[in-house]
């Protein structure tokens, strides 16, 4: 992860300023406020702002004044109840805003979550940095033979080196072409005074999906957890999962009781179909059940047996 000297100064300025407020603040989240949390090779996640905490969820559920005088275990119990029974509205009362630097192909997956407010870095207005994503060796894998959108065997040896070299070579060549088309440096000065550069909105056309973009992403707590439940799942693509894992740590700092309930009833829980539940009941009754007579497809059967550890 590379930060420019200007960005470092901006972060230091933001963290050096202290403002008095009557709003609820969370010391654990304040510790990392504005700080870039590294992701992948050049990316990061920064918490820029937030509103509310665990007490705000409880307050919304009870529609009460102030922060209340109930015990912490009562608040945790209520949050567990809300999470368990999918009463989502109280969680929507809390919001958080992130600054994220991410590869363009990750951004295209991320933007599918349409429940946030997004403002992305404009390559029509500014010049993109020469930063592109190159997978580390342990994440360089062949296409899966069963899952069409997954990875299979890890590439090794000469093949892996060839792939990495090709990825880097193509990215370098694409950026060199980008600069040539622009005919200007980051300050806007022409590199060749004898010719005019191509418009920035057109010069970006040959850049690959591996180049980095940035955006501000603001969402409420309910939709953040929905995003994390999908993108933090082991089946999600590694690159977006890496961002979700960092954001999970910010969630733990921000709303620890909600985070614990989220792990218990969402992230580490399982949804079972009505037919799957019927199979479990038959197994508990000591009956023999096989896939053909279970009512489940072969894939559903494999997933259920894996869930049960059978």
172-178, Cβ contacts within 8 angstroms, sequence gap of 24 or more: 174/206, 174/207, 174/208, 174/211, 175/130, 175/132, 175/207, 175/211, 177/206, 178/128, 178/203, 178/204, 178/206, 178/207
Residue in 225, 209, 29 with CA at minimum distance from that of residue 115: 225
Q: Which of 52, 58, 64, 61 is nearest to 94 (CA)?
A: 52
Give strand pairing partners of 220: 95
Q: Is 231 a catalytic residue?
A: yes
**CB atoms inside a 10 Å sphere around CB 199:** 11
Which residues share a beta bridge with 221?
Answer: none
DSSP state of 264: I
Cα separation, 205 vs 208, in Å, equals 8
Which has the closest alpha carbon to 127: 170, 185, 171? 185
Q: Which of 204, 231, 241, 253 is catalytic?
A: 231
What the block records as the tokens of 156 is: 């090794």
The residues annotated as belonging to the active site are 231
């Amino acid at each position: 992860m590379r930060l420019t000297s200007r960005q470092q100064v901006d972060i230091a300025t933001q963290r050096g300023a202290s403002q008095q407020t009557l709003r609820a603040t969370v010391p654990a989240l304040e510790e990392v406020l504005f700080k870039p949390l590294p992701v992948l090779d050049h990316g990061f996640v920064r918490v820029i702002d937030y509103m509310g905490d665990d007490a705000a969820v409880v307050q919304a559920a009870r529609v009460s004044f102030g922060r209340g005088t109930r015990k912490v275990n009562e608040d945790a119990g209520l949050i567990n109840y809300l999470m368990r029974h999918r009463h989502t509205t109280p969680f929507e009362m809390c919001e958080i805003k992130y600054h994220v630097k991410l590869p363009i192909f990750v951004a295209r997956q991320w933007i599918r979550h349409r429940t946030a407010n997004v403002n992305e870095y404009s390559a029509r207005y500014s010049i993109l940095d020469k930063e592109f994503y190159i997978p580390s060796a342990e994440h360089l894998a062949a296409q899966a033979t069963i899952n069409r959108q997954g990875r299979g065997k890890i590439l090794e040896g000469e093949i892996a080196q060839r792939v990495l070299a090709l990825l880097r070579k193509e990215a370098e060549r694409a950026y060199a072409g980008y600069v040539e088309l622009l005919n200007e440096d980051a300050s806007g000065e022409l590199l060749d005074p004898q010719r005019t550069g191509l418009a920035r909105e057109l010069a970006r056309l040959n850049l690959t999906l591996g180049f980095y973009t940035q955006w501000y992403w603001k969402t409420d707590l309910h939709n953040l957890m929905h995003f994390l439940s999908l993108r933090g799942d082991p089946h999600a693509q590694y690159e977006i999962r890496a961002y979700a894992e960092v954001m999970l740590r910010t969630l733990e700092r921000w709303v620890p009781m909600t985070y614990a309930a989220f792990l218990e009833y969402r992230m580490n829980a399982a949804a079972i179909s009505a037919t799957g539940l019927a199979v479990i009941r038959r197994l508990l009754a000591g009956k023999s059940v096989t896939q053909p007579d279970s009512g489940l497809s072969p894939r559903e059967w494999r997933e259920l047996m894996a869930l049960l550890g059978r």
